[in-house]
Chain A
Amino acid sequence: MSSEPLLFTKNYVDDEALVTVSHGDGSKGYLFDRDQDSKWTTSGANSDATEVSVAVEFYESGVAVSRTIDRILLINHNLKDWHLDYWDGSAWVLLLTVTADALGNTLKTLSSTATTKVRLRATATQIADAEKFVGEMVVCALLVDPGRDVEPAYAPRWRELTAELVMGEGSLHRVTTRWAQNRVQRYEASVTFSFLNSAARDALKAVRDDAEPFLWYPESVTRPAEIYLVFWSAPWAEKYVSSYKGAGSQVTMEVREV
């Protein structure tokens, strides 16, 4: 039983990846724009008999790379029957089949697989014969499952870029800069984990030491749509008392969205 907060690697479906879709090419960029409201929507696939596909080749700095994946998260989607394939170097291999999905946000665990590309295929939609859509497609691997909820404190904050001008008659003119299709603010949070065992504490410290951006999924069960690509911005901070050595660490994590 996993706990609610989870830490994943970065989403391997990003603007460097080569994304090929069978339908709705014009909106495929919305699959990874970190804006769940804007969606990849198919065109001409409004039949449950029509299979659509999204193939993603993983690239980094222009070089095709192999990624180890064990999670897929679809946010704001309407797919009912769908599959995930991976490329074994010569052919597509079925990795996951989901039928009768009734959720708008679906997180699925995969058997850990190293591959250079994956393919999402979908046929039926939750309301029959609709155009298929997916707000965000996240393919990644689990970094840490702390095994504990965010206790005693989880304090999200948001930051935004605004410019304000005081007009000649004293009124305020304000412009907020949008950075994704439907988002003007970026996520920040201060998170405290209590009573972490040493394995979870070490895994978290490894994330901090890595200093790479990672996906922070604070409420994977209650608010499954909220997932953020963040940096661990503050230095490592923990405290524990001698009676709980090895099992009672309290770690404070500061994260800021990239």
Chain B
Amino acid sequence: MKTVTTALRLALARNKGEATREVSYKRRYWDTAALAYVWEAAWTVVSRADVVAVSPVTEQLDSEQLNEFKVSNVTLTLLNTDNRWREDNPFGIFAQDSGSPGLQYDPYWTKFRVRVGIRLPDGSDEYVSLFSGVAVEYTSASNDQVQVTVQGLESLLMNANAEDVSTTVTEEYFAGPGTVFTTANPGVGVITEVSVAGIAVAGGDSTWSASDLDDPNLGATVTFQGSQSAVRITYKYWQQNKRIEELVRSLLTAAGIPSVDQLVSPVVFSNPILNAIVIDSMADWQAGTPTSIDYAAVPGSIKIDITDPANYSLLDSFTDGNFTANPVWTPQGNISWSVTGGGRLRYDKGGVTNMGVISTPVPPARIGLWKWTMNGVDSSFDKVTFGFNVMGFVQDTTNPFYQYSFNGNMLKITAPPYSGSSNQKWQLIVADQVIAQTDYNLPLLASGDVVIKVIAYGNHTFQVYVDSVLILQGYSPLYVVPNFFGIATEQGAFVLTDREVDDIYVPKAQFTATWVSPTYDMTAGVITIGKLFADYSTGLAETVTFETRTSPDGSTWDAWTSIDGAGQVQSTIRRYLQLRIVFGHNSSRYAEPIVNKVRIEYQTNVATITLAKFTGQTVYSAIQAFGQFSNYEWGFTADEDFFFRSKDTSRQADETVDRKDIQAISSLTTGYDKVYSEVRVTYGNFTAALKATGRPPRDSLSRFKSRILEVSVTDIVIGNDSDVATGVAKLFFNYFSRPRRRLRATCRFLPHVDLSDTLLVNFQQNRPKKTWTMGDETVSLGDQDASLWGAGEQLVSDMYAKVIGARHDTQRYASEFDLEEILP
């Protein structure tokens, strides 16, 4: 319904019609500053005397899915005695002037508008626009008249390239040499130019070919037949993850429709769309905020990073000046142990027969990270006489050590007296079995301290690092859980330096890690949040908890809330969601908890377009696809405004028409031909089919047999997990499963009635022979000539109808409507 005052509707209804017709135009000129064609800002009214005739303005909704407003061409006949409408008339309408100083105006695509003005009782005029369009042809109908063919403003969309709704990257450079070059941006739709060393090369079998186009996650790949250097690629990549309304606006802007004329409603689906947040790739996990999380050990999964500083703790740094407290170290054997003034544990080089151990209890940890600092050796000679072993062990109280080895020890490093002797290498010993060994010389004393790090993983792998260099790695399924950390030594005869050990770290008893997801925008249209499904393992008896929190704005968050036992997300339904995964692991057990995949389902009434690919499309066809996809109606109003809006099929009458308003009703049809018994809808990855059961006698399948409506939108890339089809199928099935009557009504002039408006129609032409009313005493019970006739006896009675076609005739001041019944 065009916006008009009540006074205008009354003036028309009371037959106070006094009307004028107004034709105005805006010329198009070349803006030398903007280097584009633009239209004048203001309308120029054609003198009323110069308007000879205006053909009726005919509009229609497109047939099956009723989404697009189509306006037929309008022909204006204008007086042209002085050839003012001639393109090359230097004194004509299109002559160069101060408004278009560079060139003359271009008659092609001059905008024309047709309005009617109605005189109101207060003497003022109210105008109603009937049509706006662009001139595409000027025909001299006679020597003093010109006929201007004016097309609807859809022409502007049909002639605009939708591919412009993209980002152009000019000459991305690849130094090469190579044969395969991948663009930096994913979602590439069009490769405009490929050049090698500054010379453009056309694609082809013998030159280069492109792949991975239109992929939301991958850049385009250009593969040459031979190796090339200095390659430059110019390409366009599509917008990603945009709402439909955002893309429609972008398309309109590309077609030169000013933003003030873009009346684009947010697309809200009446049936919910099932969406899901899926986290299962390394990129997905890396997008989150980790605390002690290991992404790399199992690509595509997360687990605790047991080597993170948060998961090991300082056992002793000896800064208290002794080893007798915090913690208490117990020496055994005949080695002399002391703590230096600098806070380091020292053991004397002693003599050939000196040997011993020093140890302290630690939390039992089967996996984790142990590390300590020690000094270097003072000469190459020194190293051949030095040996020690160190690490967690299980204390054997009856036989705590044998020479310089613990029972059940883990790492033994024996400095070799000469190379090639296996028991004098660095050895990785697990449960008293050597699983790996290597030759390795400690750095010289002058080089400073070294940090030795030993890591035991849950997958039974062991690693030894010296100053972050991996020197030993091995595998052993055997293990004992150490509950002591100790150093054992047997000093050789030629040792020149006292050994010093410092800053000893051991694994914590309980490992923890937390992963917080990035903020997921479930869009303003989120209506429910469903369950969380996870592929994860808790190891033997570890913990993995899933918590969520939501926010209306992405910054103010509710408290973290755990999912319930059935996996249902408990957070309040709000637009933004975050997931937190908390790991807990007792370090005495080897099996690590791990999370491989998480999927959180939610329902929205809005859909996000994953990749807005418009290859080879016009703005018109792209918007057409969006209109079909969202089941929205769209077109141009008579006031040049583009609209994209939800279809109103309510039984709320915009205007009531009856026999006082309707001159004639013609072609009243039953609508049987528009009934379908099955609807098949394919949107993205989902196909939904709804079929009538065929059982009830009035069911569409039983009445009309098998008629199938197929709706398919495959060009629009939506999320793999967004199911729009099911909801849309229901909508179409509800609409098409019952017959709706259609009729054409010729009415008095109702210029404000628009396509898609709802009219309440009454045409009760079948009057009883003797008219009477309830309570009428002139009739009595038993009268043979009085009948009470109901709605069924009338041609049209209290029928709510949608306007699917309109024809406004400004010559006769009459309107004609094609109407389709709206069923309750």
Contacts and interface: CB of A to CB of B under 8 A. Distances in A.
Interface of A: 15, 61-63, 163, 165-169, 171-180, 184, 258
Contacts of A174: 15, 17
B95 A179 contact: no
Contacts of A178: 18-20, 117, 119
B92 interface: yes
Nearest to A63: B91
Contact of B659 (A15, A63, A163, A168): A168
Nearest to B81: A61
Contacts of B763: 168
B18 A175 contact: yes
Q: Which of A63, A175, A177 has the most CB of B within 10 A?
A: A175
B680 to A, nearest CB: 42
Interface in B755-770: 763, 765
Contacts of A184: 18
A11 B679 CA distance: 69
B49 interface: yes
A62 B749 CA distance: 38
Nearest to B17: A175
Given A167-B661, A167-B662, A167-B663, A176 B47 contact: no
B27 interface: no
A62 B91 contact: yes
Contact of A167 (B91, B117, B659, B812): B659
Interface in B1-51: 15, 17-21, 47-49
Contacts, number: 72
Contacts of B20: 177-179
A62 B48 contact: no
Given A62-B84, A168-B765, A177-B21, 6 more contacts: A168-B659, A175-B749, A176-B17, A176-B19, A178-B117, A178-B119
A174 B17 CA distance: 7
Nearest to B748: A173
A163 B660 contact: no
7 shortest A-B CB distances, which residue pairs? A62-B91, A175-B17, A175-B813, A168-B659, A169-B659, A173-B748, A163-B813
A93 B495 CA distance: 127
A15 B47 contact: yes
A175 B811 CA distance: 10
A168 B664 contact: yes
A210 B813 CA distance: 37
Contacts of A61: 82, 84, 91
B814 interface: yes
Contacts of B84: 61-62
Contacts of A176: 17-19
A182 B659 CA distance: 31
A173 B17 contact: yes
Nearest to B125: A181
27 contacts: A15-B47, A61-B91, A62-B91, A163-B811, A165-B746, A165-B812, A166-B663, A167-B659, A167-B748, A168-B658, A168-B663, A168-B763, A169-B660, A171-B15, A174-B15, A175-B17, A175-B18, A175-B19, A175-B749, A175-B813, A176-B17, A178-B18, A178-B19, A178-B117, A179-B48, A180-B48, A258-B49
Contact of B814 (A63, A163, A177): A163
Contacts of A180: 48
Contacts of B18: 175-176, 178, 184
Nearest to A181: B125
Nearest to B749: A175
A179 B50 CA distance: 11
A179 B47 CA distance: 10
Contacts of B19: 175-178
A106 to B, nearest CB: 26
A178 B665 CA distance: 29
A174 B11 CA distance: 12
A171 B17 CA distance: 14
Interface string B711-750: 0000000000000000000000000000000000010110
A120 B18 CA distance: 34
Q: Which of A163, A166, A176, A184 has the most CB of B within 10 A?
A: A163
B749 A171 contact: no
B119 A171 contact: no
Interface in B529-567: none
B116 to A, nearest CB: 9
A177 B662 CA distance: 21
B49 to A, nearest CB: 7
Contacts of A165: 663, 746, 748, 812, 814
A169 B662 CA distance: 8
A173 B18 CA distance: 11
A112 B19 CA distance: 41
A38 to B, nearest CB: 10
Interface string B62-84: 00000000000000000000101
A3 B658 CA distance: 58
